[in-house]
Amino acid sequence: MSDEDKPDDRPVPPGKPKPPPLSRAKRQELRRKFLRTVLLTGGIVGAGLSGFLPLVYARKPRLRPPGALDEKDFLASCIKCGQCVQVCPVDAIKLADLIDGVGVGAPYIDARSQACDFSCDAVQCILACPTGSLTYDKPAFMPVRPGAQLAAKPILIPKEKDPEPTLNLSERMGVARLTRPEMCLAIKGKGFKGPARGHSFRGKMRYMRIDRWKPVPIAEVRYEVEECDLCVRECPIKGAISIETVYAPDGTQRKSPVVHEPCVGCGVCEMICPTEPVSIEIVPREVWRA
């Protein structure tokens, strides 16, 4: 005789009748329901935690839009609404997919296919951000990584003659780096003719000489230069990059693009670079090392 089947001879308190014992089938059903509940809990919490996998595997860092907080704060504060995507005049901002785990739906820039050229003048994505993930004014309590801070507000060349020529950015998105000097046309002393990225390239950019307000497809713009300097020519930030004469180890003299401290890491040089693979790239989150 099991416990449940024993007659209950304890005195029953008045007004509180003891519930009848559950039948075997009912108990089994409850047990199954409990097991299902536990399984579903595990499944959904597991799915939630799987979002951390990309972090654990230390995927290549994303280039975030201008004004982004440091990566961890950025992912914590981004509400994944895509308002930054909607205001960008050159559609530089994309939203990350499932492979970004907890970063799913967070904005990033693939500079090679479409860089941020600041053709919005006022950094519209920062203005659009509802949660302060992208911000002009980083809260005082958040630390600034050494070298991330720009020495001065960057001057945007297209509005150099405006009363307010600067972009209200205090930290850089990354830094441009000549990652494949062996490819660089300037170093080879070569010129360049034709559209920078070919006729089928879909990227857009603002050209002051064509239209102050409307970005045009890069495929429609023909270049003809004796010595390639596209990265310097199209860089929207004053003093961020220049062609300098450098000396190779064997003592020979050659030209090379050199990146300077004002570089904000917008990625225009990476987008416009006509070599394949690209010679100059943005290192996301990179800080300035003198």
Partner 1 sequence: MNTFLRKRFLEQILVMFGREPRKPEAVSEEARQIHLVKRTTNKEKLQAAAAHAEAHMNTSHKWRNRRWITLALVNLFFVFSYYFDVQILEGALTASRFIGFHLIDLNSALQVMLAHKHIITNLLIGTATVLVLWILFGGRSFCSWVCPYHLLAEWAEKIHLRLMREKLVTDAPVDRRLRTVFWIVFALLAVATGYTVYEAISPTGIVSRALIYGPGLALLWVLALLVFEVFFVRRAWCRYACPIGLTYGVVGIFTPLRIKYTLESCFHEGNCRKVCLVPHVLDTVIKGRAVHTEVPIGPDCTRCGLCVDVCPTGSLTFDVKGLSKLL
Phi, psi at 75, each rounded to 5°:
-70, -30
Element (H, E) at 73: helix 71-77
Beta-carbon neighbour count of residue 213 at 10 Å? 10
Q: Which stretch binds partner 1 (CB under 8 A): 30-38, 160-168, 232-240, 263-271?
A: 30-38
Task: Return the residue of 21, 70, 95, 219 that touches partner 1, per CB under 8 A.
Answer: 95
Phi, psi at 157, each rounded to 5°:
-55, -45
| Residue 233 C-beta-side C-alpha neighbours within 13 Å | 18
Task: Return the residue of 49, 144, 210, 248 that touches partner 1, per CB under 8 A.
Answer: 49
Residue 55 or residue 157: which is nearer to partner 1 going by CB? 55
DSSP 3-state of 70: coil
Look at the block and give the residue holding tokens 């509400």. 79
Residue 36 or residue 193: which is nearer to partner 1 going by CB? 36
Residues in the chain: 290
Residue 91 or residue 121: which is nearer to partner 1 going by CB? 91
Task: Return the residue of 63, 68, 78, 134 that touches partner 1, per CB under 8 A.
Answer: 78
Residue 124 or residue 279: which is nearer to partner 1 going by CB? 124
Decide if residue 44 touches partner 1 (CB under 8 A): yes
- List, in order, residues 6 or more apart from 44 with CB less than 8 Å away: none
- List, in order, residues 6 or more apart from 151 with CB less than 8 Å away: 261, 262
Residue 99 or residue 258: which is nearer to partner 1 going by CB? 99
Beta carbon of residue 96, minimum distance to partner 1 (angstroms, whole number): 9
Decide if residue 213 touches partner 1 (CB under 8 A): no
Q: Which stretch binds partner 1 (CB under 8 A): 3-11, 98-106, 155-163, 217-225?
A: 98-106
Q: Which stretch binds partner 1 (CB under 8 A): 84-92, 154-162, 222-230, 233-241?
A: 84-92
Angle, alpha carbons 259-196-226 (nearest 5°): 75
How would you classify the pairing of strands 204-205 and 216-217? antiparallel
Report how far residue 24's alpha carbon sits from residue 26's, in angstroms, rounded to the nearest whole number.
Answer: 5
Q: Dump the DSSP string for 8-36.
A: --SPPPTT-PPPPPPPHHHHHHHHHHHHH
Task: Return the residue of 65, 66, 101, 154 that touches partner 1, per CB under 8 A.
Answer: 101
Beta carbon of residue 88, minimum distance to partner 1 (angstroms, whole number): 11
Task: Return the residue of 63, 92, 102, 272 that touches partner 1, per CB under 8 A.
Answer: 102
Question: What type of residue sits at position 162?
Answer: D
Beta carbon of residue 173, minimum distance to partner 1 (angstroms, whole number): 20
Nearest alpha-carbon partner for 64 in 30, 98, 100, 29: 100
Give, as ranges, the residues between 111 and 150 that touch partner 1 (CB under 8 A).
128, 130-132, 135, 139, 141-142
Residue 73 or residue 261: which is nearer to partner 1 going by CB? 73
Per residue, the 3-state secondary structure of 139-161, as one string, reads CCCCCCCCCCECCCCCEEHHHCC
Beta carbon of residue 98, minimum distance to partner 1 (angstroms, whole number): 4
Give the residues lining the site for partner 1 (CB under 8 A): 32-34, 36-37, 40-41, 44-45, 47-49, 51-52, 72-73, 75-83, 85-87, 95, 97-99, 101-105, 128, 130-132, 135, 139, 141-142
